[in-house]
Amino acid sequence: MKNKVLFLLAIIGLISLNSNAQRGVRIGYIDTEYILQNVPEYQDATLQLDKKVQQWKTEIDQRLNVIEQKKTQLNNERVLLTKELYEERLEDITFEENEILDYQQKRFGPNGDLMIQKRQLIQPIQDQIFAAVQEIAANRKYDFVFDKSADVVMLYSAERFDISELVIRSITRSAKRTQAQNKAERRAAEDEDVVPEINEELEAREKALEEKKAAREKAIEDRRAEQMARRDSIKAAAQAKREKMLEERAKAKAKNDSIKNSKKEGVKTDGDTTGKTAAEIAEEKRQQKIADREARKKALEERRKKIIADREKAKKEREEQKKEKDSVPSDNDNN
C-alpha cells in the first residue's frame, strides 16, 4: 500500500517538474461507492439480489431446523430402536444435513451464486463508470483520476477535484439516450435491463441446480426405498423370530403348568389318603387309651377291693387271735 502511494507521488512529482513551465497538473478523483448509490439501475438490481439472498437464507434455516427436529426425535426414540435402525436413520439425517450444507456453500461460498451475481451486477456499472471517466478526463484535460474507494489512501482531497457528480450525470445521459422512443421499445429495453439479464443467467444456473437436486432426490428416494425394504425385511424376520419364541414359551409354559397340575393332584390325593389313615389311627389310639384307662380303673378297683378284703381278713384274724388269748386264762383258772 505504501509503495503504491509513493510510486504515484513520485510520478506526479516528475510530471509536475517536467510540465511546470508549460501548465499545472490536473488531478481529479471519483467515489465509486457514492456513484453506485446514485445509479437507480444498480440500486434496483441490488434490492432484487438482497431479496433473493434473504429467500436463500430463509430456505436454508428452515431446512436446518427440520434436521435439528429430526435429530431430537431420533434421540428421543433411540431407546426404542435397534442399533441397525438407529444407525440407518442417523445416516439418512447426516446425508440430508450434508446436502443442505453443500447447497449453502453453492449459494454463499467464495465461488457461489451470491459472489457471481454481485460480479455480474457491478461489472456493467463499472464499465459505464470507466467510459464516463475517460470521456470526462479527455474533455477536461485531466492528467490523473483516482478512485477514492480503491486501495490508494487519500489523506485529504478537496471537493473541487471530485468529479463523481459528472460521472453520474454522464451515466444518466447515456441511459436516457439509449432509452426507447416508443412504448414497445421501452418494454424491450426494460426486458434487456441488467437485472433480467442476471435473472436469465440465474435461471439457467438454477435450472441446472434443480436438475442436480432432482437427481439427488431420486437417488435419495431410491436409497430410502431400498433401506425401507431392508428395514421391513429385518422387522419381518425379527417379528417371525419373536412369534416363534413366544410360541415356544407358550408351549413350554403349558407343559410346565400341566406337570405342576399333575403334581398338585397327586399331592392332594396322597394328602387325603394320609389324612384318612391318621384319623383312623387317632381314633384307634383314643379307643385304646379309653380301654387302657378302663382296664387300669378296673385293676385299681379290684386291687382296692382286694386290699379291703385283706384288711377285713386281717382284722378278723386279729379279733380271733384276741378271743383266743382271752379264752386261755379262763381255762387255766378253772383248773
pLDDT tens across 138-174, in order? Answer: 888 888 888 877 666 666 767 777 777 888 888 777 7
Q: What is the rounded average pLDDT of the residues 54-72?
A: 93
CATH number for the domain harbouring residue 115: 3.30.910.20
Q: Kindly give, in sequence order, each residue whose CB lies less than 8 Å from that of residue 87, ignoring residues fewer than 6 positions away.
A: none
Structural domain contains residue 44: yes
pLDDT above 70: residue 98: yes
Higher pLDDT, 16 or 99: 99
Contact 112, 106 (CB under 8 A): yes
Residue 333 domain flag: no
For the chain, how many residues are written?
335
Q: Which domain holds residue 42?
A: 2-178
Q: Is 16 left (phi over 0), alpha (psi -120 to 50) or beta?
A: alpha
Amino acid at 175: A
What's the total number of domains in the chain? 1
Instruction: Identify whether 327 is part of a domain.
Output: no
Q: Which amino acid is at 79?
A: V
Residue 198 has pLDDT above 50, yes or no: no
The answer as to whether 319 is a domain residue is no
Alpha-carbon gap, residue 133 to 170, rounded angstroms? 9
Is the pTM above the cut of 0.95? no
Residue with cell 434436521: 67
Give, in order, the Cα–Cα distances in Å from 69 to each of 3, 87, 93, 100: 55, 17, 10, 15
Q: Is residue 63 part of a domain?
A: yes
Q: Is 192 inside any structural domain?
A: no
User: What's the chain's average pLDDT?
Assistant: 77
Residue 162's SS3 state is strand
The DSSP code for 178 is T
**3-class secondary-structure state, position 30:** strand
In this structure, is residue 335 part of a structural domain?
A: no
Q: What is the mean pLDDT of residues 15-23?
A: 49
Decide if pLDDT at 9 tops 60: no
Domain-located, residue 174:
yes
